[in-house]
Structure 1
Amino acid sequence: MAAVTLLVALSGCTTLAGDPTIRPGLNVGRGQVDAELQVAPPGPRDGADPAEIVRGFVHSQAGSGGDFVTSREFLTGEALRTWSAETRTLVFRGALQVTDVEEPTPTPPPEGATEDTADDTAEDGPTESAEDAPTRPPLEAGDRVLSLSVMAWAEVDRLGHYRELPGTQQVTTEVVLARSAGQWRIRYLDPQFGRWLNTADFERLYDPYAVHYVSTGERVLMPDIRYVPTDRVATRLALLQLGETPDYLLGAVRHDIPVAAQLNVGAVPVLDGVATVDLKGEGIGSDPTARENLWAQFFATLTQVRGVDRVQITLEGNPLEIAGVEDVRSLGDLRFTQQTTSARATALVRQGNSIGTPNLRARFDDVVREPTTAPRSEQRFPWIDEEWRNLALSPSGVELAGTSADALSRWRRGTRYEAPRFATDLGRVCYDRHDVLWAGGIGVQVPRERLFAFNAAASPADPLRSAARPVAVSWLTDRRVLGCHVSPQGSRIALITDAGADTAPQLDIGAVVRTTNGLPIAVIGQQSVGARFASVTDAVWLNETLLGVLGRTHPTGSGAETAEDDPDDPDRLQPFLLTVGGRSVALPTLSGATRITSTGGERNLIVVTADEQIMVRVGPQWLPAVDHGSEVMVAGR
């Protein structure tokens, strides 16, 4: 039996659209579909043949409302009892293919066999092994077996985790139909069938939202993106907030919502802009800090929902109050840090050996001009020999850092300080808002150590306070760190790594664990978000849930010749937007792109090319900036 193809696990822009261009201003949690816009597909037609029943069942899943009453009219027997649209959602392009499967004449099952007995005559699915193939009950006289096939590109699991596939992949499953009251109905479905939606219907029926967790190191929230159906959004988000913490955040976030906590009435009503969360369970809000944290999580998560302005939390009908706070109107009322990002961060440009302040305004003409020299920065950094590469600028703009093979240097107040040798094969360095300098490499004393941090608040002349300290990352022991990039609030890190010189670099995200003074001690993860990419060269955080990425994608699998189909072509590096939820959307291509950064958000993206052009994003296009340079260093990146 050809079974459902197991999807490659993947762990983004903030919205899905028929036009794949991400446009600024579309935010996570853009709201639910109006109740009056519900879609009700037709049920099964009397006398419909098996193929029509199967197509009707799949098409009925595009109905809104979430009850799937119409979908169940296509089912009978085991399928009616066990099918759940919540199991997973498969997203596909193109048309659904339905074909008859030639089956041998059914024979009585062996004595003692049950409906769950495996069918040894089944064929493997396109990529699935026979051992992993789901079983099917024995066929009965009159049964019809049909094969369903689509070209899938993404899926969403029952907890809302979105996964892109590495290219479009064929997914195939088989269904068994039988007559019920004279009409064909589906009596068996693969247990993992769930819901199949074409791209347009998925865009209409799902929205991305953030579920929030409290960092262990400081009072900030870590958003985790989930894709949620547009019906009963407040209730769905509350249930996700009450659910288990994702594995890739365990150890980096607190657990102030008890495992026993649940909704008292099974729903979160929204009335006059107030979402009321009535909880029950032992240990809820048992101490003041835990109560504030619980409030902060629900407040941040539920106020994303359109029409929700306030949140009320009760415990079996009694208000769960916060001492000294009559009405929670912001996270600040709960003593949580609210990060603010300036419109533009300080940027410097490297032109040969000199460091200057660039003019990043776009040129709108095609006139060829001689390169101009950028004026020296206020910090008046000294000339930096070309052997020092991959420069990074501290958050305050007073320090530069760079690497040369196995050496790392820092420049401050006109002086170069070389760090004592701590690792070999150093990668691209970065700073974070806590004044920490990060660097990847292979530890000199302990080779399994691959990520290091410097206290950049200390003087580089102080060898004790500014020494490199290893950061524990269990999943990096056999990988090489090529680049590291820390999120704006410092709670996540994007790591570009490979398994050796001849392997493709990949992008993963980890959660940063810090001490109370802000210094990192570990990175928890790994959260794989880049399965679409054959390789990733560079990345930059645009906000706490969105990155700009420079990479190459896997072939589309469509048979069409595209720019993505030659991963070895140096001109095929392409900029993308990628969310921590795994959704990626391509930006306009650029020839010869080598680095990507931003002075603030996706509107201010910058790409540097191999011929030292600085390209800035202007609406849907890239235009050359007034100045040129081989590197653009943005403060705190």
Structure 2
Amino acid sequence: MGADRRHTHRRTVRGAALLGSVAVLAGCASMPDSGDVSSVKASRQGDSQVRVYPVPPRDNAEPDEIVEGFLEAMTGDDPDFATARQYLTKQAARTWKPEERTTVLSAAPVPQQSGPVRQEHGVPGDPQTLLYRLSGQKVATVDDRHAYQPVGSITYSESLQLVQQRSADGKQKEWRIDVLPQGLVLGESDFQRNYRSVNKYYFASGKPWVVADPVYIRKRQDPVTKMDSLTQTVKALLEGPTNWLKPAVDTRFPAGTELKKDTTALTTDDRNTLKVPLNEKANNVDREQCRKMAAQVLFTVGDLASTRVEQVELQRADGRSLCVLGEDQRSDFMADPTPGLRETPYYVDATGKLAQLLPGPKEAVEPRRVYGPFGDGAAKVETVAVARDEKHAAAVSQNGRTLRVASIQSDTDLPEPLVTSRGAVPANRLSAPSWDGRNDLWVADRDPADPRLLLLQGGSGKPLTVTTPWLDDDVRVEELRVSEDGVRIALRLSRNGKTTLHIGRVERQTVGDRQKVSVVDLQSVAPRMESVTSVSWAGPSRLVVLGKQAGGVQQVRYVQTDGSASAAVIPGLNQVKAVAAANDERAPLVAAADDGIVRLQSGVNWQPMVEKGTSPVYPG
């Protein structure tokens, strides 16, 4: 019956239409071999095929029914939450703003009457005010800019206050809610059923390529704006980037640009062209600016429309065309414009040489050592990062002491180290390196006496020390992975024996002839995971993570960069040490396990590739 609330002692206050039964599973997989079995409150998995039709309060409804009915009506889709407002007093209905925020609980909120409260200035014989406490475990919030923010699992406690007001015919009094929290309060399964994650796209500050900015929008019509999901997404794009990403990106839309008034549905024509009518603020942009505006829309709606969007046409307020941009021009706005699918990961073989796994028949894979000192030469490497153009690689060697960059396309001598750590033991020396789309190389020196995050511009020269206000004596960088756009960095950080996953924002400033780079405003990505062992970028706003939740077993799972769980399923894999993914989500996952290097291609299970090897990586 729709909600994840189960109460058999009361009448059903909500009707639901079950239009399908496709189960949406969490984006993780493992075969549990330890941990206790514990009972949890049942919660229907989010199902986009299920539609919920809330029911208004019946005459003379008891207070319990009013509270339960309102909580369930919040999970519905009726315009402007009209049914939910019927459970409120007239004043509360006018001031309640469901669009202000959404609070996501692990399960539906549990209401409990906390007793009557007498009115301070009540007239003798007036009814008492009733208070209901709402409780649960809060796991996330979504703000008015549609940004998802995980909070782990913290106690949620708010109140609803009920009073009696005259019925419409004035003959009797009925219970209604007159004090309530702003926004929506939903169980996690109802949130998954009603909302979907989409990427908005903005330009990296000072650069011609786009950056993904994930947000959540309604899967179907938005009850407040009456917009379908495609139109909601374009509207969210025009509103600007989320507060977290805003300092590092730019929008090419002029300030005040909105959809033309009363636009609630955008559709494609018979040529798969999406026409986007804008208000007068965009009337006078030049062609190049318009192309960039259209690129933002093209990337944003890329996976949303039921019919493929092959072109975007932006229109002036009077309906005339501003510009048209097609799919064939997407590469003009990408940090890595290299065409084709990269499905040839690299790894360090059993002898300490950098090798490439060439694609072959279904299960046969032919490893090949790269050219140059890291493959054909005498040097032994421990961890590596291959530049995104696949011409050079960076390697850490000598028990984590040195970082070198060399060609992997031609034979050259072993170059001098670019970075040398003074850490006393290997664990306190250099992390595995990572390249961004600017061809800059990143590495962490974990020497407790001088912990640093370092950047080598162009992969050469003197390293620049990155400003890291969060890096102190208690924090250690276990692993770093920089996004292709160079705006975000995934960090595995350990503190007090616990290793957690964070996303940091990369900010760059030019002061005179010097550049200052900072990694700031770290956000927890997987707060409900007890430990994280490995991480890799797996798309513009998705990570593949190896870790485990408290009391659980090790899992390989997808996580969105905003901390929300992905619905994609990864088959279980035992004894994994590291995982790697390509920025192109079509490329197979690779992992280092006790059985060597293994690969996961679409539609099949994990397959062995080579018997012995470590440090699997894709370019980046």
TM-score > 0.5, shorter chain as reference = yes
Identical positions, percent: 20
Q: Does 1:428 align with 2:432?
A: yes
The aligned amino acid for 1:353 is G
The aligned amino acid for 2:588 is N
Q: Does 1:195 align with 2:184?
A: yes
1:389 paired residue among 382, 385, 393:
382
TM-score (norm 2): 0.75
CA deviation vs aligned residue, 1:469-516 (integer Å, no higher than 9, x gap)? 3344555466443222123454433222345x745343224346599x
- The gaps in structure 1 that reach 5 residues or longer are 1-15, 24-31, 110-139, 365-371, 457-464, 556-561, 564-571
Q: Name the CA distance, whole Å, in 1 between partners of 2:48 and 2:432.
A: 44
The aligned amino acid for 1:19 is L
SS in 1 for 2:215: strand
Q: Does 1:89 align with 2:102?
A: yes
Change (3 A) 1:616 1:143: same
TM superposition shift of 1:59: 1.0
TM superposition shift of 1:360: 8.4
TM superposition shift of 1:184: 3.4
The aligned amino acid for 2:24 is G
Q: Does 1:593 align with 2:569?
A: no
Q: Which residue of 2 aligns with 1:213?
A: 202
SS in 1 for 2:121: coil
Change (3 A) 1:300 1:597: closer
SS in 2 for 1:510: strand
2:213 paired residue among 183, 202, 224:
224
The aligned amino acid for 2:383 is N
The aligned amino acid for 1:41 is P
Q: Does 1:629 align with 2:612?
A: yes
Q: Which residue of 2 aligns with 1:290?
A: 289
Change (3 A) 1:305 1:409: closer
Q: Does 1:150 align with 2:108?
A: no
TM superposition shift of 1:54: 0.8
TM-score (norm 1): 0.73
Q: Which residue of 2 aligns with 1:605?
A: 589
Q: Name the CA distance, whole Å, in 1 between partners of 2:315 and 2:343.
A: 42
Q: Is the 8 A contact 1:95 1:150 kept in 2?
A: yes
Q: Which residue of 2 aligns with 1:20?
A: 26
1:466 paired residue among 461, 465, 468:
461
Q: Which residue of 2 aligns with 1:416?
A: 414
1:67 paired residue among 59, 75, 80:
80
Q: Name the CA distance, whole Å, in 1 between partners of 2:570 and 2:179.
A: 39
Q: Name the CA distance, whole Å, in 2 between partners of 1:272 and 1:429.
A: 44
Q: Is the 8 A contact 1:296 1:334 kept in 2?
A: no
Q: Name the CA distance, whole Å, in 2 between partners of 1:53 and 1:629.
A: 63
Q: Is the 8 A contact 1:453 1:470 kept in 2?
A: no
Change (3 A) 1:617 1:175: same
CA deviation vs aligned residue, 1:345-394 (integer Å, no higher than 9, x gap)? 34233214344455888999xxxxxxx99664455433444xx5323333
Q: In terms of mean alpha carbon deviation, does 526-535 or 538-547 score higher?
A: 526-535
1:177 paired residue among 128, 143, 162:
162
Q: Which residue of 2 aligns with 1:125?
A: none
Q: In terms of mean alpha carbon deviation, does 45-54 or 142-151 score higher?
A: 142-151
Q: Is the 8 A contact 2:56 2:83 kept in 1?
A: yes
Change (3 A) 1:80 1:504: same
Q: Which residue of 2 aligns with 1:277?
A: 277
Q: Is the 8 A contact 1:513 1:520 kept in 2?
A: yes
Q: Name the CA distance, whole Å, in 1 between partners of 2:516 and 2:616.
A: 23
CA deviation vs aligned residue, 1:417-471 (integer Å, no higher than 9, x gap)? 3425465532221234444322112699x95852322523xxxxxxxx5332334
Q: Which residue of 2 aligns with 1:237?
A: 233
Q: Name the CA distance, whole Å, in 2 between partners of 1:190 and 1:333.
A: 47
TM superposition shift of 1:625: 1.0
Q: Is the 8 A contact 2:358 2:368 kept in 1?
A: no
Q: Which residue of 2 aligns with 1:399?
A: 393
The aligned amino acid for 1:576 is R
Q: Does 1:614 align with 2:611?
A: no
Q: Is the 8 A contact 1:427 1:481 kept in 2?
A: yes
Change (3 A) 1:477 1:212: farther
Change (3 A) 1:306 1:422: same
2:254 paired residue among 243, 251, 258:
258
2:444 paired residue among 434, 440, 454:
440
TM superposition shift of 1:44: 0.6
TM superposition shift of 1:528: 3.6
Q: Name the CA distance, whole Å, in 1 between partners of 2:571 and 2:303.
A: 30
SS in 2 for 1:455: helix
Q: Does 1:162 align with 2:148?
A: yes
The aligned amino acid for 2:143 is D
SS in 2 for 1:68: helix
Q: In terms of mean alpha carbon deviation, does 425-434 or 617-626 score higher?
A: 617-626
Change (3 A) 1:247 1:341: farther
Cα root mean square deviation, aligned: 4.0
Q: Count residues in correspondence.
A: 540
Q: Is the 8 A contact 1:397 1:635 kept in 2?
A: no
Q: Is the 8 A contact 2:248 2:505 kept in 1?
A: no
2:559 paired residue among 571, 578, 588:
578
Change (3 A) 1:522 1:604: same
Q: Which residue of 2 aligns with 1:348?
A: 347
TM superposition shift of 1:46: 1.0
Q: Is the 8 A contact 2:442 2:454 kept in 1?
A: yes
The aligned amino acid for 1:177 is L
SS in 2 for 1:345: coil
Q: Is the 8 A contact 2:578 2:616 kept in 1?
A: no
- The gaps in structure 2 that reach 5 residues or longer are 1-21, 30-46, 222-226, 423-428
Q: Is the 8 A contact 1:328 1:334 kept in 2?
A: no
Q: Is the 8 A contact 1:360 1:625 kept in 2?
A: no
Q: Name the CA distance, whole Å, in 2 between partners of 1:287 and 1:527.
A: 37
Q: Name the CA distance, whole Å, in 1 between partners of 2:521 and 2:591.
A: 28
Q: Is the 8 A contact 2:201 2:299 kept in 1?
A: yes
SS in 2 for 1:262: coil
TM superposition shift of 1:534: 3.0
Change (3 A) 1:238 1:399: closer
**Higher normalized contact order (CA 8 Å, seq sep 6+, divided by chain length):** 1
The aligned amino acid for 2:25 is D
Q: Name the CA distance, whole Å, in 2 between partners of 1:159 and 1:525.
A: 18
Q: Name the CA distance, whole Å, in 1 between partners of 2:320 and 2:555.
A: 52
TM superposition shift of 1:546: 1.5
